[in-house]
Structures are given as C-alpha cells and as structure tokens.
Amino acid sequence: MDANSRGRKENGWNGLLAAEGEERERRIAELVSSMSLDEKIREMAGTTNLLKQAMMLFHYNKYHFLAGGDGRLGIPPLRFTDGPRGVAFGNSTCYPVSMARGATWDRRLEERIGEAIGVEARAQGCDFFGGVCINLPRHPGWGRSQETFGEDPYLLGEMGAALVRGAQKHVMACAKHYACNSIEESRFYVDVRVDERTLREVYLPHFRRCVDEGVAAVMSAYNKVNGWYCAQNRHLQRDILKGEWGFDGLVMSDFVWGTRSTVDAALGGLDIEMPMRRYFGRRLKRAVMRGRVPEAVVDEAVTRILRTKARFANAGSPGDYTHDKVACREHVALALESARKSVVLLKNEKDILPLRRDALKKIAVIGKLADRENIGDFGSSRVRPPYVVTPLQGIRDKAGSIEVTYDSGENPAFAAAIAREADAVILVVGLTGRDEGESIPYVKMGGDREDLSLRAADIVLIEAVADASERCIVVLQGGSAVLTAGWRDMVHAIIMAWYGGMEGGNGLAAILFGDENPSGKLPVTFPESNDQLPHFDKKAKSIEYGYYHGYRLFDHKGMAPAFPFGFGLHYTEYWYSNLRLSAREMGTGGAITVEADITNRGGMAGCEIVQLYVGCPPSGVDRPVKELKGFTRVHTEPGETKAVSFELKAVDLAYYDVDAAAWKVEEGEYTLYVASSSRTEDLHLKGDFRITAG
C-alpha cells in the first residue's frame, strides 16, 4: 500500500471511526463528498459475486451476503446473514422459532438469545443479522408466522426490541419486513389496502419500538401498501420511518424482487438494494446523470450506510469471537432453556401431567413427528445445527426406568393396539416445513395455511389412540395456531411444543416428566374454527387489512376461541390479589404505577406470566374492548407471594387521529385488568382510573 492510499484510509474511514457525535458526522460528510459517484453507488447494493449467489439457490446462506465496501477508501462491506432461529450461516445453535420464543414472554431470555446469536455471527465472519422479524400475523395461517413473536403489536415490539438489544452488542440488526407483510404466497405482488389509523395502531407500533431501541437497519417488504411497493413507498419510508420516527439507520430491500424500480425506490427512501445491483447500479448512475434522481439523494443514502457501519465497527471484543463459540455449551443450554419455557400446556384433564416416573411402567410414543428432526421451515430462516434432539429421543433420555415403545402411527389400528398396552401415550402430530413457511418459487413446500386443521390422517390417528388409552397426551408441533375442535375432548392433555429448536425434545420431556413447571402462554389466539378468522386469500392480488384481528377481533365480535391469547396452564395454581394503583387520575402526559400480588398456591415452584390489559372509555372512534399494555414473568416457590409492578403511561393509550394527523389521548374513565390471559374468566383483578386534561 503506498503512502497516498494509507493517508486516504487514515483520514477517511479510519479517521471517522475515532471520532464521535458531531465530529463523526462531519467526517462522514467529508468522506461522502470525496467519493466519486461510482464509489457512492457501489455502497448502495449487494456485492456478492454471481457464482456464489447461484450456489446459494441450493444452499441458502452458504456464504455471507456482502453489500458495498471500498478498498481505496478502506470502507468494509456489510456481511449479512439471516435468522431468526439463530445464525443461518454454518452449523450454528438453533433456537426455537420466534413464535415459540414469543410464548415465553421473556424479554431477558430473548435479549440473551440475541447476544448469543451476535457472538456466533461474529465468530463466523458476519456483522449484520437479518433476523428481527416482527411482522404481525393478521391471520395465523400466514406461512411465516413462526418467524415472528405473536399477534399483538405490544408483545411483538417488546420481544423484537429485546432481540435487537442483545444482538447489537455484537452486530448490526435488521428489523423486517416493513410493512404489512403477512401473506406468503402472493407476497411479491399483493397490494395491501389499509387505512391510516389501522396502519399506525396495528401494523407499525412494533417497528417504532425497534427503531426507538436503536435498530441499525429496516428491511422493506415485497408487497405493496396502498398501491406502492414497500421499497419505493415514500409514505412508509420517508414520511414515517425517517421523518416522524427520526430513524437514522439504513433501509435495505428484501432480496431479488424486493426492488422494482430505480427512480421511485431512490426517491422513496431505499438505501441498499439486495442481494445484487439491478436497479441501484448503472441504472441509478444514469438516473443521477439525467437529473431524475438528485445526487443529494444518493449522498443521503451513503451517509446512512456509513453512519451505520461506523456505529458498529467497534462493537464487542474481537478477541471473543472464536469459532469454538458456535453451538458452544452455553448457547446450547440457552436453546434448552428457551425450549422449556416455550412449551404451552393447553389441557390437563384430571392432572394426568406431569408423568410420574415412579407410577408408570410403560409409555408409548406414537407419530412420525416424534422421531423426526422438525425445527421449522426450509427458507431463509433455516439453521443447520450440529444435532437435533427429537421428542422420542428426549422422552427416552428422561424416562428413567420406564419402558418406552415407539410406533410411527401409519397404521392407526396397530398404533391403538400399542396404546392399549401402555400406561400412558404421547402422540406427536402437527406440521412441518412442507406445510408452512417461506414459499420458495418452483418448489412445493412452505406457504400459507387457509385451513388450520390437522391432516385428516392425524385426526384419524388421534381418534384411534385416544379410544384405546386412558391417558392420552397430544403434543402439537407447528409455527402457529392449530384447530383442535372435533378431537380435543377425546384426549386428556394437549401440549403446544412449536418448532422447538435443536434441544426441543429435551425441553418437551422436561415438561412431560415435571422436571420443569410449564410456563409458556399463547402469543396467538387458537380459534375454534376457520370461520372466526379474518378473510384470507393466499393468492390475493389485493386485500384489505381491517382494524381487528386476533384477540381484539374475538373481543369485538364476542366470539369464544378454543384457547385465548395469553393462555397457558401450569402444574400449580396462582392466586391474584391486592390490586394497587399509585393514583386514580392522571393527565394526558402522566403515568401511574399498577401493582398486584401473585401467590403460588400449589406444591411446585414455577413462573406465572402476568398480563396487563386496558380498556378505553366510550369514544367517538372505534376502540378495542381491551389491549395488552404490559406483561412480566414472576417466579414463586410453593406458598410464596410476590408483588408485580407495571408502569402505565397515558401516551401509551393514545389512538391515531387521522384528521389531525396526530396521536390523541382521550380523557375519560379507563378500566385495567391484571390477568393470566385475555379471556374474561382470567381477568382476575379489575381497576378504574381517569385521564384528565393537562
């Protein structure tokens, strides 16, 4: 390297890394002004070579996806890897899918998972993690529901922010897919029609939460919103994201078909086209030269890119990112903890669970999925861990002296005969990556589910085995809600185990045998029938997204679900008492503290997930019956009482006033509930408070 080259790097990229605040911004501006148009445009697109991209059609994430970089100026490229089950590169730790982690309602656990993912990404040469998927599943049959944390904007935002916090101790994180992306099979062309209030209150708050947490990047969605593809949607990207929210990071496109234009995308606020330069290469240069895209727009994009790279250039401790950290003992233990906490006990008739090792001689495990490595879909979120513990393996390892027999269930009559000889039956059924997940063009796997029912063969098997067994436990695997009507009353216990990651079998077994008290709660409503859900057309060219979905829709229409949002049973009983409010009145800019006592009345230690819901006063605008506004996990020993506390701010109860183009806090009488789920019977404590002017 000659002296001039060293000087450029020291005074340019390396120089600005040493600066902070306004000085860093000044140096970034100087660096951008010193770059040629070609150099600037190079920063605005993926740069992975075409041969590697072609190879990744058969093994996605075999290589890092690169973007930008400049050898002359010493600017490094972005090194992107996908998620969110873990690092999609190499043989990394595979955690339960995000929906399962949403069922833990555990912010701190999700932050720790983010930290571990960040370490493994850096250990494998990546510095950009694209796994903060926070799309809201308007219909639980959306194929990629498993990649997100649940149906509620508040829960989504809190869990997404926790993942951002953890990952960004080591790498840049990207929140995706902005916005209104919740149909998989028509994602490349569907036009989502949504009114401004619904957009603001339902489909954007979780993105705002991650922006406030400092997320480095936002990925635009494939679909259109109100007639404009998201990557060129000025209202979403310039007016709201970069304008109102003050987001100073970068906006990147989803891959290949995520960018559909040059001029509209550049003017609309897109900063990086991924994974290659189609529109943000020669076409962008011509558009600038012809005056169709002001060079100032390019400068703004490059400034955002360099600012983001610089912000994370010195993240973490480089010496800590050794390859032995990938799927290390600590991270595998974290995967097991997450698998245990994510399991949701939906039914437990006559307390047949947990299974007592000293009371059983023989257990039958039935179902093809019991002996299959079933960890989620095969799309961009796929992680290839060094091993996977199946339910059958986990049960055998935890059964002690109990004899464990296995049958695939292909012949229901034979399975029933085996069940008849056993003291208890564990029947594992559900979904795989062929049934739901990212829809991969020209490959028949993944996609959406318009019908949430199990396969007919699974239902026949359940009926046969349940008729033959006096202790039949159904374990469901999948990434979202499943219909249970028709067979639910035939069985004695039901567990939702999701796609539990590499330690999923051990996590499930810990719950079955009572080594762990189940604490998971549903992050998505399980309906009684398909008819209770919003209209869903997986091939729709245009669709309207209404204001109501999930538990809010069930409340609005007075419908009873099979299992409500926030629901989950335990091996102990919790008692709620002594509701306390720090004040019964607050101004529109004020806050109150809500406290309550939770008592463990059973004989086993465990964690309860306490939820805070708020109902608004009668209003001139349509408002939900109640909305989630807080949650916390509380661990108690048998007989122990602990206090829980929530801060409730008036501003968090605002609605979006379309006429004023502003958020408005209504004055009036509000009702709050401290609850164990969203259903009426579980709204244990109720209190009222008033919001007044001022």
CA angle 427, 347, 153 (to 5 degrees): 105
Report yes or no: 119 and 70 within 8 Å, Cβ to Cβ: no
- Give the torsion through C-alpha atoms of 509, 514, 520, 522, to 10 deg: 80
DSSP letter for each residue of 451-515? --PPPHHHHHHHHHHHHH-SSEEEEEE-SS----TTTGGGSSEEEE-----TTHHHHHHHHHTTS
Rounded alpha-carbon distances, angstroms, from residue 518 to 348, 397, 522, 652: 11, 19, 12, 31
Report yes or no: 266 and 248 within 8 Å, Cβ to Cβ: no
Instruction: Determine the 3-state secondary structure of 607 from DSSP.
Output: strand
Catalytic member of 82, 127, 254, 435: 254
Burial string for 604-638 (b: 16+ CB within 10 Å, else e) reads eebbbbbbbbbbbeeeeeebbbbbbbbbbbbebee
Instruction: Determine the 3-state secondary structure of 625 from DSSP.
Output: coil
Q: Which of 439, 606, 442 is nearest to 539 (CA)?
A: 439
Instruction: Determine the 3-state secondary structure of 135 from DSSP.
Output: coil
Give the N- to C-terminal CA distance of the chain in Å, as an integer.
64
Is 659 designated active site? no
Measured distance CA(321)–CA(324) in Å, rounded: 8
Which residue in this structure is represented by tokens 């234009």? 261
Residue 54 CB partners (closer than 8 Å, separation 6+): none
* 3's tokens: 């002296």
Q: For every residue of 538-587, which 3-state class applies, written as one string?
A: CCCCEEECCCCCHHHHHHHHCCCCCECCCCCECCCCEEEEEEEECCCEEE
Measured distance CA(674)–CA(510) in Å, rounded: 29
Dihedrals phi, psi of 607, to nearest 5 degrees: -115, 130
Report yes or no: 526 and 550 within 8 Å, Cβ to Cβ: no
Residues marked as catalytic: 254
